[in-house]
């Protein structure tokens, strides 16, 4: 079985992104991402550090804005509006979910589509669904980058997407559809998931359930992409995917591991989106 690792995919994206960012900088436009963090959630702080590191490596400026957990709606809104109006900021992003006292949908709506590099606003999602210009969320984009890098044919092939969230499942289904795959989207009420999965050419798992996809859900010649990031119930302190990778290894043609798969590509895609946004603006 071929292991579809994310490291080389991320490296290729980062190299291309850096080259394009340097070209823009030479012309007087350094691509810039404004990152807003509310509060001190450890996951957000860790992701922020990763974004900062990636931006440095890709020659993208990263402006970090940290706000207290009890920030007032109008204060956060004013910061977002300022970045939206600032021509030196090309991409905007905030960590989600926000504290409950904030109206997250209203704040998302303040990010203009052309700067919405992780598809936070509804208008950006509409653009992805309509096939018009806008950025898809970074995680489903990372899955598409993995499929492209490993030259997995999509046209006319049956793809089963497990999960229908607005962060992964639904936009991923739209991107696969745009690439001419025949797409089935499954969720917690879907009947006989093992049979649906076995019939697919490509299985894409984004449910957030450790090792939900067992060996008997899979068949030979399949390509399996695992988006899941779960605390591993069998190995405390470790993470695992939505697919039983050890079982998949003996059955399918190719599969992405967790960790070491799609997750490594997401932040590289974020950097690329910022550079693309700067190129367009
Ligand atoms: P989510 O919002 O919780 O959505 C999970 C989806 O899976 C829902 O559509 C749910 O169905 C479906 N589902 C849950 N249990 C199921 C089951 N037993 N059978 C079939 N479908 C089931 O999660 P998410 O934000 O999309 O994230 C999914 C996974 O991807 C998580 O492990 C998350 O950590 C990971 N993730 C990774 C990255 C990355 O690598 N950078 C980024 C984002 C997310 P219903 O709609 O019916 O409830």
* β-sheet bridge partners, residue 275: none
Minimum-distance ligand 1 atom for the alpha carbon of 212:
18
Q: Are 205 and 180 in contact (CB under 8 A)?
A: no
Cα-to-centroid distance, 213 and ligand 1 (Å) = 13
pTM: 0.97
The predicted structure's pLDDT at residue 132: 87
- One DSSP character per residue, 146-181 reads HHHHTT---TT-EEEEE---TTTHHHHHHHHHHTT-
Maximum Cα–Cα distance for the chain, whole Å?
A: 56
Q: Are 242 and 143 in contact (CB under 8 A)?
A: no
The predicted structure's pLDDT at residue 203: 98
Residue-wise pLDDT tens digits, 39-86:
999 999 999 999 999 999 999 999 999 999 999 999 999 999 999 999
Cα-to-centroid distance, 275 and ligand 1 (Å) = 28
Residue-wise pLDDT tens digits, 177-189:
999 999 999 999 9
Residue 275 in this model has a pLDDT that exceeds 90: yes
**Are 259 and 149 in the same domain?**
yes
Whether 271 maps to a domain, the answer reads no
State how many domains the chain has. Answer: 2
Residue 219 in this model has a pLDDT that exceeds 90: yes
Mutate to test the pocket of ligand 1, among 212, 227, 258 (most ligand atoms within 8 A of CB): 227
**Are 100 and 180 in the same domain?**
no
**Are 82 and 193 in the same domain?**
no
Whether 99 maps to a domain, the answer reads yes
Whether 102 maps to a domain, the answer reads yes
Cα-to-centroid distance, 164 and ligand 1 (Å) = 7
The predicted structure's pLDDT at residue 36: 98
Mutate to test the pocket of ligand 1, among 207, 258, 269 (most ligand atoms within 8 A of CB): 207
Cα–Cα distance between 192 and 276 in angstroms, integer?
A: 41
188 Cβ closer than 6 Å to some ligand 1 atom: yes
The terminus-to-terminus CA distance of the chain in angstroms comes to 43
Cα–Cα distance between 92 and 30 in angstroms, integer?
A: 15
């Amino acid at each position: 079985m071929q292991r579809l690792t994310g490291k080389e995919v991320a490296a290729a994206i980062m190299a291309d992104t850096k080259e394009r960012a340097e070209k823009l900088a030479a012309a007087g436009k350094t691509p810039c991402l404004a990152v807003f963090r509310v509060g001190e959630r450890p996951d957000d702080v860790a992701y922020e550090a990763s974004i900062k590191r990636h931006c440095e490596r890709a020659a993208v400026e990263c402006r970090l804005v940290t706000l207290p957990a009890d920030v007032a709606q109008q204060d956060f809104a004013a910061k977002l509006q300022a970045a939206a109006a600032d021509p030196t900021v090309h991409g905007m992003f905030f960590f989600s979910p926000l504290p409950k006292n904030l109206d997250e949908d209203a704040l998302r709506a303040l990010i203009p589509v052309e700067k919405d590099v992780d598809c936070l606003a509804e208008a950006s999602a509409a653009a992805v669904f309509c096939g018009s210009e806008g950025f898809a969320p970074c995680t489903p984009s990372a899955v598409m980058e993995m499929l492209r890098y490993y030259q997995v044919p999509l046209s006319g092939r049956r793809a089963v997407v497990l999960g229908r969230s607005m962060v992964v499942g639904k936009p991923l289904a739209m991107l696969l559809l745009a690439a001419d795959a025949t797409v089935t989207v499954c969720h917690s009420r879907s009947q006989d998931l093992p049979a649906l999965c076995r019939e697919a050419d490509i299985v894409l798992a984004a449910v957030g359930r450790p090792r939900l996809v067992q060996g008997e859900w899979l068949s030979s010649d399949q390509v399996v992409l695992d988006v899941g990031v779960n605390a591993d119930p069998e190995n405390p302190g470790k993470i695992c995917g939505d697919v039983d990778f050890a079982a998949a290894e003996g059955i399918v043609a190719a599969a992405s591991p967790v960790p070491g798969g799609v997750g490594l590509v997401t932040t590289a895609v974020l950097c690329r989106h910022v550079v693309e946004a700067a190129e367009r603006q």
